[in-house]
Amino acid sequence: MNSKQVNFSKFSSIKIGDILDVTLLKNCKDFVKDSYLIGSCNNILIGTQPPPLIKLDKKYDYIKIENNQLKIGGATPSGKIASFCKKNNLTNFEFLSHLPGTLGGLVFMNAGLKEYEIFNNLISIKTCNGIKQKDEIEFGYRFTNISTPILEASFNLEYGFKQNKIELFKKMRANQPKNPSAGSCFKNPLGDYAGRLIESVGLKGRRVGGMEFSSIHANFLVNVDNGKFDDAIFLIQEAQKKVYEKFNIWLECEIVILDKRYLGDKSPLLKP
């Protein structure tokens, strides 16, 4: 089995983490139980006690048109997908020009911008547990019930790339901070906005160590000055506690925290 060393303070979008060994998944039999699959770490906060990590090999970085479908490998970056669609005059993927990630991470998170979500045009996924049709998968806002590595996804083909949508997505991004982050820190609770709630409890602009709830958009936990994992966790917990006390709403993390102390059910500090 191959592995490689990854410096997470450079690789992850939030610029936090040590230099760690990451196993490369070439075949599903390489998947080690209890290890955690990462994509390009645009939605992940790596802790100081991470689980064993695994990443798709670059053989899963491809995009092609086959049998009148768009077939994309799990390790393919969003920028490559957006460029391919522009070059081949395909529509429905314009939003990926402003959404960082790999196909596997995008599908697992059902990533999107407003009503444009990756599941909108999905047909099926190829996983380590075989092929799953869209109607066999539960999905919703930044949620799917997929529990196995996504190796490839197939999408409907629709021609007519729309440059005006690229401009629209660029505008949507204009109110977001430029500092390193992992995107939105919390999911928006039903009928409300995490950013509004964080601001209402006085945490917009709150800084601990090198981490801050951005003064530009409170739901972005940004790394302003060599921020550390503990600073990030402190702020996440402070926001959850204060928002719960004031509004009786539990802010659920959109960021995936990869640390043995906070994974799955072993996260007493992150639940009421």
The residues annotated with a catalytic role in the active site are 142, 184, 254
- Which residues are CB-contacts of 235 (< 8 A; sequence separation ≥ 6)? 203, 206, 208, 211, 212, 213, 221
Q: Which of 17, 39, 47, 50 binds ligand FAD (CB under 6 A)?
A: 39
Dmax (CA) for the chain in angstroms is: 54
Q: Could you say whether residue 112 binds ligand FAD (CB under 6 A)? A: yes
Within a 10 A sphere around the Cβ of 24, how many other Cβ atoms? 16
Q: By rule CB under 6 A, what string of x and - marks binding of each residue 184-223 to ligand FAD?
A: ----------------------------------------
Minimal distance, residue 263 CB to ligand FAD, in Å: 11
Answer whether 80's CB lies under 8 Å from 62's CB: no
Q: Which amino acid is at 266?
A: K
Q: Could you say whether residue 235 binds ligand FAD (CB under 6 A)? A: no
**Which segment (27-35, 38-46, 129-137, 209-217) binds ligand FAD by CB under 6 A?**
38-46
Residues 222, 225, 226, 227, CA torsion sign: negative
Q: What is the CA radius of gyration of the chain?
A: 19
Residues 48-77 that bind ligand FAD (CB under 6 A): 56, 74
Chain mean position to CA 161:
25
Residues that contact ligand FAD, how many (by CB under 6 A): 31
Q: Could you say whether residue 101 binds ligand FAD (CB under 6 A)? A: yes
Q: How far apart are CA 136 and CA 192, in angstroms?
A: 29
Minimal distance, residue 228 CB to ligand FAD, in Å: 18
Residue 84 — φ and ψ, nearest 5°?
-60, -45
Minimal distance, residue 183 CB to ligand FAD, in Å: 3
Q: Which of 45, 106, 198, 251 binds ligand FAD (CB under 6 A)?
A: 106
Q: Could you say whether residue 181 binds ligand FAD (CB under 6 A)? A: yes
Minimal distance, residue 185 CB to ligand FAD, in Å: 10
Beta strands in 79-219 (DSSP E): 112-113, 116-117, 122-127, 130-133, 139-140, 143-144, 150-156, 207-208, 211-213
Q: Which of 40, 92, 154, 214 binds ligand FAD (CB under 6 A)?
A: 40
Q: Could you say whether residue 124 binds ligand FAD (CB under 6 A)? A: no
**Which segment (83-91, 103-111, 192-200, 203-211) binds ligand FAD by CB under 6 A?**
103-111
Reference 105, options 158, 138, 56; nearest CA is 56
**Which segment (15-23, 132-140, 142-150, 195-203) binds ligand FAD by CB under 6 A?**
142-150
Reference 260, options 54, 51, 52; nearest CA is 51
Q: Could you say whether residue 125 binds ligand FAD (CB under 6 A)? A: no
Q: Which residues of this chain interact with ligand FAD, rule CB under 6 A?
A: 13, 37-44, 56, 74, 99-102, 104-106, 108-109, 111-113, 142, 146, 149-150, 181-183, 256
